[in-house]
Amino acid sequence: MSSEPYLLTPGPLTTSLRTRQAMLRDWGSWDVDFNTITGRIRERLLQIVSASATHECVPLQGSGTFSVEAAIGTLVPRNGHVLVPQNGAYCQRIARICRVLGRRLTTLDYAENTQVLASDIERALAADASITHVALVHCETSTGILNPLEEIAQVVARQGRGLIVDAMSSFGALEIDARRTPFDAVVAASGKCLEGPPGMGFVIARRAQLERSEGNSHSLAMDLYDQWMYMQKTTQWRYTPPTHVVAAFDTAIAQYLEEGGREARHARYALNCQTLIEGMARLGLRSFLPAAIQAPIIVTFYAPDTPRYAFKSFYEAVKSRGYILYPGKLTAVETFRVGCIGQLGARGIAGAVEAVGQVLAEMRAAA
């Protein structure tokens, strides 16, 4: 086992030694070698979703939420109207962003274990011609639920509206193909399924929409149009980039391609997810979602049915055995979450199940 605990979280996650070593070199932010790295990342991210012909990749400093806010603030006009289907905490965060930015907002509310329905989106768009954009979370990290991106994208396109996709927990592992799935923007970040360190987000934005977005942004620092134009002219970031994160992300993407790209990454995560759910079931722990709508990224489990259970002590006991879990994010029931992504090694998931089993046995014996 690694001397450091494995992060069974949806990002930050456990990165490879090669990725961590890439952060040992200092870079000049205006240096041509560093700018070459930025350019290579932008090109490869476009290629991952087959968007090179139609979209641009605009990177941004900060967490994924920074880029989600930048996408909404830049691509939605100030008099725009955003429809946000909500079935988890990150959908709710997008709605909050819209409120803070002063963008008109309509929500469609679902239970946390229920997929968004394309038919509901279609009815909402048909009923209100003022809606300009739909903002969808592809994989809702608060539960692990997978929303039907392809069906929703086709509905939004037929209705002539724009689609902004929060693909934070899906980009690079679940299929997104710009040639078949129309979208104005897909937003993700370095520290998720591409297994880089956190600190850099990016927006894959339709070129035509970017070109007409000048002046929309509420913010100088988060203006994707300005960031894009500056990069096109100079190859540089406007303001100081997270140089070590960018270099490590470039190395992580290289390993992603060497592994076999999206298909291989998805297969590894799917096996992790299956191993996790089956192993936890043997311990008497039930997953929150049915298999049909469970993405192989993070799994929510009901809390153990034992009077000695408290998440903090459970977390600390599992951590002492080398695995860091994630707290639940549901409001109605007590849960905890386990990520399936990252460099978990041969014993990663199986070892985590074993550690959880040992802690549960101790708790039940003490009850």
- Quick: pLDDT tens for 89-113: 999 999 999 999 999 999 999 999 9
pLDDT band at 1 (very low <50, low <70, confident <90, very high): very low
Q: How far is CA 204 from CA 37, 53, 212, 330, 350, in A?
A: 17, 12, 15, 30, 36
Q: Is residue 1 part of a domain?
A: no
Contact by Cβ (8 Å): 140, 300:
no
Percentage helix, strand, coil for the chain under 3-state DSSP, each rounded to 5? 45, 15, 40
pLDDT at 2 over 70: no
CA distance 217 to 352: 44
Domains: count for the chain? 2
What whole-number percentage of the chain has pLDDT above 70? 99
Residues 246 and 288 in one domain: no
Cross-strand pairs, 185:
164, 205
CA angle 294, 296, 276 (to 5 degrees): 95
Confidence band (pLDDT; 50, 70, 90) for 73?
very high
Are residues 241 and 359 part of one domain?
A: no
The angle at the Cα of 279, spanning 276 to 281, to the nearest 5 degrees, equals: 105
Q: What is the dihedral of CA 283, 317, 168, 151, to 10 degrees?
A: 20
Q: Give Cα 366 to chain centroid, integer Å.
A: 39
State whether 155 and 228 are in the same domain. Answer: yes
Phi-psi domain of 195 (left: phi exceeds 0; alpha: psi -120 through 50; beta: other): left
* pLDDT at residue 367 greater than cutoff 80: no
Same domain for 108 and 68? yes
- Specify whether 23 is located in the same domain as 52: yes
CA atoms within 13 A on the CB side of 220: 2
Q: Judge if 284 and 298 occupy the same domain.
A: yes
Q: Does residue 107 share a domain with residue 202?
A: yes
| CA distance readout (Å), 88 to 115, 267, 273 | 10, 25, 20
Residue 31 lies in a domain: yes
Is 354 in the same domain as 214?
no
Q: What is the CATH number of the domain that holds 311?
A: 3.90.1150.10
Domain extent at residue 326: 6-11+262-366
| Chain segment 325-353, per-residue pLDDT in tens | 998 877 678 999 999 999 997 778 999 99
Give the integer Cα–Cα distance in Å for 223 and 228: 9
Match 């902004």 to its residue by tokens: 164
Same domain, 287 and 335: yes
Q: What is the pLDDT of residues 205-218, one digit of tens each?
A: 999 999 999 999 99
Average pLDDT (108-137) is 97
Cis geometry, peptide bond prior to residue 12 (ω within 30 degrees of 0): yes
